[in-house]
Amino acid sequence: MDSTIRNKAIRVMKANDRGGFTVPTANLYPYQWNWDSAFAAFGFATFDRDRAWRELEVLFEGQWANGMLPSIIFRQNDPDYFPGPTVWQTGTEPPTTGHSQPPVAASVAWRLVETGGEADLARAQSLFSGLYAYHRWFHDVRDPDGTGLAAITHPWESGRDNCPDWDGGLNGVRVPDDLEPYERRDLTHVDSSQRPTKAQYDRYLSIVKFGRDCGWNHEVIYHDGPFLVGDPGVQFILIRASKDLRALANRLGRATEENALSAWIERAEDGSQYLWNESVGGFCARDLRTGHFSDAVTSASMLAFYADVGTSAQFDRLVANGKRILDRVEFGFPSWDPDHDRFEPQRYWRGPVWSVMNYMIAEGLAEQGETEMAARLRSDTQRLTDETGFFEYFNPLTGEGYGGGTFTWTAAIRLLLSTDVSTSRAA
């Protein structure tokens, strides 16, 4: 890795460091985000092992008593961001949102243990109970009927906020007459052509209002809430992270938790088949109220390789779709199929490339023996940052960068792709 690029990536991460936790980027996202922090820890591990663990430990300071790790921890009220803590009203300390995000933290912790020493194992042991409680919440609270499918109750919970995967579910969300007027802050930092629409935001906030009005009772939200969708992204990240947490449980001699994780994993692997859309040839989002499928292969569909979930025939279909999609773009992997009529190469999760998704997809492809496609994605990710900068997301056709221009997880992934985390192993 060119030392100039490495130094720029480290500077981005240090500039977004707020003393124990990292913001995704200044102004646009001024708080601590769940999966952003986990990927930040990965990046820190390439040059500061202690700071990597600290990022995870501080993240779990916001964990709820029921085990949920919220999507955002509001450590101060920053007017640059909406909706802030006064909108969510979760009653937690520190204030947080009322839902979660893709649970990558256990995978990061396990990788640090795999590549580390006794000091890393000790840090992981102190974090294990929180990680286990978080996974128990997903497998139990978001799958109370034991279907093997962990639902999301808000598009934001997927981490892929405005992906067309959610269009069907959002169309069924009624905007109440008493929805409070609001002023979006993201549009003061980023052009509206790159962001979710107002109609989508109205529905996002309507779902938040439902949660607030029921006192963030997750049983009520699951059974009666306005949005309940099976997401291949969360599903596959959860399965992979549960496998990694099971490996950590084994290393720590936690047999009871290891057995429970094995049962959860088996159930979730079986439940994932409900997301297989034969007409598309991929795992797709599915509305759990109506059974309606999304109709495109997305970057989340490709995470089946990362989770090692699917039959050989399904993997063959996914590989064929992946190659077709990559033939259509200059930079992979787009968040939405470029052959679909709802593809928008500049609008957030409706087409652009995201470094963190590329990292996980490439990991999975390489593990399944699809080394050529994995190498393409890693090379594309490096080219995007080296030629364009550490942007939040990128146009898959042109490479143009959008959103935040000094983005933590983009810098973290660039470091990770070129640095063995074991080189910064703790003594």
For residue 229, the SS3 value is: strand
Tell me if residue 387 is catalytic.
no
Annotated active-site residue in 120, 157, 161, 258: 161
Annotate 379-420 with DSSP letters as a single string.
HHHHHHHHHH-S-SEE-TTT--EES-SS-HHHHHHHHHHHS-
Q: Rounded to whole angstroms, how far apart are CA atoms 335 and 126?
A: 36
Q: Residue 87 in contact with residue 96, Cβ under 8 Å?
A: no
Annotate 282-335 with DSSP letters as a single string.
EE--EETTT-PBP-S--TTGGGHHHHT-S-HHHHHHHHHHHHHHHHH-SSS-BS
Tell me if residue 161 is catalytic.
yes
Q: Rounded to whole angstroms, how far apart are CA atoms 10 and 31?
A: 19
Q: Rounded to whole angstroms, how far apart are CA atoms 294 and 168?
A: 8
Annotate 5-63 with DSSP letters as a single string.
HHHHHHHHHHHTB-SSSB-SBTTTB-SEEHHHHHHHHHHHTTT-HHHHHHHHHHHGGG-
Helical (H) or strand (E) element with 357: helix 355-367
Backbone angles phi, psi at 11, to 5 degrees: -65, -40
Helix H segments across 174-254?
198-213, 218-224, 232-252
Q: Rounded to whole angstroms, how far apart are CA atoms 65 and 110?
A: 23
**Which residue numbers are catalytic?**
161, 392
